[in-house]
């Protein structure tokens, strides 16, 4: 498990996820990776359709997180993370996951 990272343009500072070859704002080809540790889980849902490769697995939860830089990321949603709440973003097994933050963080953060 590692911290979630996004690409940040070395020229204009705009962030992108997934990574891009060319910055759509300034045309630069230079990028650096920066951690994007948190965001707001906008919604979460269960995928009830059985996948042929894994009939025995529990239905996975997936959702959409809007990160603190405004990037939209489709994630796996860990137990305890609820729609509207701030979440911690991590990468593991090739995917991005939303974990619940401490219950004292409240709901919604600064997002409208
Ligand atoms: Zn740029």
3-class state of residue 78 by DSSP: coil
Q: From the CA of 8, how far away is ligand 1's center (Å)? A: 8
Query: Can you give the pLDDT at residue 43?
Result: 95
Q: From the CA of 67, how far away is ligand 1's center (Å)? A: 19
Q: From the CA of 12, how far away is ligand 1's center (Å)? A: 4
Side by side, the strands of the sheet bearing 15-16 are 15-16, 5-9, 31-35
Counting residues of the chain whose pLDDT is more than 90, the rounded percentage is: 72
This prediction has a pTM of: 0.81
What CATH number should be reported for the domain whose range is 34-105? 2.40.50.840
How many Cα atoms are found within 13 Å in the side-chain-facing hemisphere of 7?
A: 15
The domain limits of the chain are 34-105
For residues 29-57, give the mean pLDDT: 88
Is 102 a residue whose pLDDT tops 80?
no
């Amino acid at each position: 498990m590692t911290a979630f990272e996004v690409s940040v343009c070395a020229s204009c500072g705009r962030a992108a996820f997934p990574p891009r070859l060319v910055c759509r704002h300034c045309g630069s080809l230079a990028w650096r990776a920066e951690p994007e540790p948190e965001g707001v889980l906008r919604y979460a849902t269960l995928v009830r359709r059985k996948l042929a490769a894994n009939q025995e697995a529990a239905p996975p939860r997936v959702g959409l997180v809007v990160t603190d830089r405004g990037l939209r990321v489709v994630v796996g949603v860990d137990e305890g993370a609820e729609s509207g709440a701030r979440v911690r973003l991590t990468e593991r097994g090739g995917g991005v996951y939303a974990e619940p933050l401490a219950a004292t963080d409240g709901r919604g953060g600064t997002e409208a």
